[in-house]
Each structure stands twice: as C-alpha cells, then as structure tokens.
Amino acid sequence: MPVPQHIFDPPFNIIRSSHAVLDVVDLDKSRAFYETTVGLHVEDRDDKAVYLRGSEEHQHHSLVLRKAPVAACNRLGFKVGSDGDLDKAASFFSENGITYAFTEQPFQGRTLQFTDPLGFQLELYAAMEKRPHLLRRYDLYKGCHPQRLDHFNVFSPEVQNTVDFYARLGFRLTEYGEEDGPNGRIAAAWMHRKGNVHDFAITNGKGPRLHHFAYWVPTAMNILHLCDVMASSGFLKNIERGPGRHGISNAFFLYIRDPDGHRLELYTSDYFTGDHDHEPLRWSLKDPRRQTLWGAPAPRSWFEEGSPFTGQTVREPAFVADVTIAD
C-alpha cells in the first residue's frame, strides 16, 4: 500500500497531542489509580470529573476522567498553533463534509470538536489555562514520575484511509508495519507532528477504538519502579505487557490497564524525527523485533481489546493482519 508523502503546508497547524478524555464508571477509584499508583497530579476535581497532568506540563490537564455509566474514550485532544487555526480547521471540515462544532470546555479556550471520517472523536484548541510546572517539586513525585503526555494509538478498521487522512493534516509517517510481497498492506503506522516518533499511531483492528494513550517518563528505571509499585499495591493483574523495548520507536515501555480497562503506556527513549527529509522506516509484520526488540510477542489482549469511542459503532477491520501472538 502507498506510503504518503510529507505535507509541510497543511490546511491548519496541529502542534502535538495534548490530552485524553476518558469516561470512567468509578471516578474515585480511577482518580486514586492515576494519582497514587501512576503518579499524575490532580489539578482540579468535582463530583463529575477529575483533571490531571504530568510533572513537566504547564497546561492545566492532559487527562480528564469523566464519571459515566459506561467506560469509553470520550475525546482525544490536539493543540493547534493559534486561534486562527481553529477557523481554518472549521473551513477544512466544512469543505470535506466532516461534522464539527465549537464548544466550551472547562479550562480550555475556544475548542473545536469533530468526528473524523473514520469515527474518531477529537477536539482542537489553541489555549488552555496555565499552571507552574512541577518538574522540580520532587516532594510531589509518586508512581513512575510521568512527565508529559506523549501520544495516542488507535484501532482503525481502515488503516490506509486513516493514514491518508492524517497525512493530509500534516502528520508525518515515521515507521510502519507492512505485509511482505508486492501487494502488502500497511497494518500499523506511526505518525507525528512534534518531532519524535509519534503523536498518533494507527493499528489495524476493530474500530474506531482507543488502543492506548502514553505518558513519557524520565528513564527505564521509572518504569521498572512502577512494576514494583503495582505488584505491591494490589495491581499486579493490571500489568498487561512489558517491561520491554520496542523495535518500532526504540522506546522502553510498559502497558498497564486502569480500573475500567483503559490501556496506558509508560514510555521513554524514542528518537528525533524533526528533519524535513526524515524517511519512514518499514518493518515486516514477520520481523520479531518489530513488537519487541528482544523478540517477545504481545499477548492476545493487546491485539483485541480497546476502548470504544462514546456513541460510535465499532466495525470489523477491512482485513485481518497475520501477526505473531504470544501463547
């Protein structure tokens, strides 16, 4: 399948991935998990929502937990360069038949919500309330010391169409997994705006669903420490995959599940991709180093389970990728 060309003059300027909005059933239980076990900082809370952020972040929140009757991914948020980019985005959506609306969201400036052609529910904003970062407040550090939100990964039933759409918005492909042979199809893709491996990754599967969101941590030792914390605080079964090192992205990782089953990755040590002529790296789906540089395959749950988007119908994938799954 074709690899998209980089577009350096997109219709509007997305800066980076910014925040996730998750629907959770037990707000207090979810807050305790993310605050005490993982180590995010609670910035605001009420009886309907909790707003959290990492130590390095100046923005008010990078994770919003909303009390809801059913667990789901409500929205994924991206920051744009200026307020004018919101109007440019609205024009682009209008011209392309994409549903959108300007809304008011707590602690954010003007916010543009839309549902992309694949069913992913997103929001764009240019301004969010600022807070002093807590990077040097080591007395407040808990869990694995998460610094900042890094990326999202989604299940898409139409990977090529998803890649092509986000390439139009200026997302640049860094790495991809593809079937071998002359008619090989792309089964996974990593795309960025901020100059590292990805802000938005696309995985073949039933969707639209959120596969995971990820926070950057300072070192691999922070990830190992989180394994000890979870093993000694009643969350051993919430460790799904890792710790390990990906071949794709080179990142050291751990995947965990929160009380509602939402998947969170703790992530460090990927690489710079900001040069305009950075070429995408192709991986064969049969290369065992692709999933984990050390050769260990992912569990079945990692390929099959994810968080649906609120109100969206989950569709079967256009094809089933032949991937290696752990016994």
Mean pLDDT score, 183-187: 93
* Architecture of the domain whose range is 148-308: Roll (3.10)
Integer-rounded Cα radius of gyration of the chain: 19
Q: Length of the chain, please? A: 327
CA gap 126, 77 in Å, rounded: 11
Judged against a pLDDT cut of 90, whether residue 327 lies above it is answered with no
The mean of the pLDDT values for the chain is 96
Rounded Cα–Cα distance for residues 139 and 87 (Å): 42
Rounded mean pLDDT, 322-327: 82
Q: What confidence score (pLDDT) does residue 1 get?
A: 61
pLDDT in tens, 79-108: 999 999 999 999 999 999 999 999 999 999
- 14-129 CATH, one of 3.40.50.720, 3.40.50.800, 3.30.1860.10, 3.10.180.10: 3.10.180.10
What is the token pair recorded at 153?
């990964």
Alpha helices, H only, the chain = 27-32, 83-95, 159-168, 220-231, 288-291, 300-304
What is the domain partition of the chain in residue ranges?
Answer: 14-129, 148-308
pLDDT computed for residue 290 by the predictor: 86
Give the whole-angstrom CA distance, residue 66 versus residue 156: 24
User: Using CA atoms, how far apart are residues 259 and 128, in angstroms rounded to an integer?
Assistant: 28
pLDDT of residue 168 exceeding 90, the answer is yes
* pTM attached to this predicted model: 0.97
User: Does residue 209 carry a pLDDT above 80?
Assistant: yes
Taking residues 265-278, report their average pLDDT.
Answer: 95
Longest Cα–Cα distance in the chain: 56
The two tokens of residue 147 are 């610094």
Phi, psi of 201 (to 5 degrees): -115, 150
* Cα–Cα distance for residue pair 20/73, rounded to 1 Å: 8
Paired sense of beta strands 121-125 and 72-80, if any: parallel
Confidence of residue 186 (pLDDT cuts 50, 70, 90): very high
Q: Is the bond leading into 308 cis (omega within 30 degrees of zero)?
A: no
Which alpha helices (DSSP H) does 185-247 contain, by range?
220-231
Q: CATH topology of 14-129 equal to that of 148-308?
A: yes
Q: Residue 291: is its pLDDT beyond 90?
A: no
- pLDDT-derived band at 321 (thresholds 50, 70, 90) equals confident
Torsion-angle region of 275 (φ positive above 0: left; ψ -120 to 50: alpha; else: beta): beta
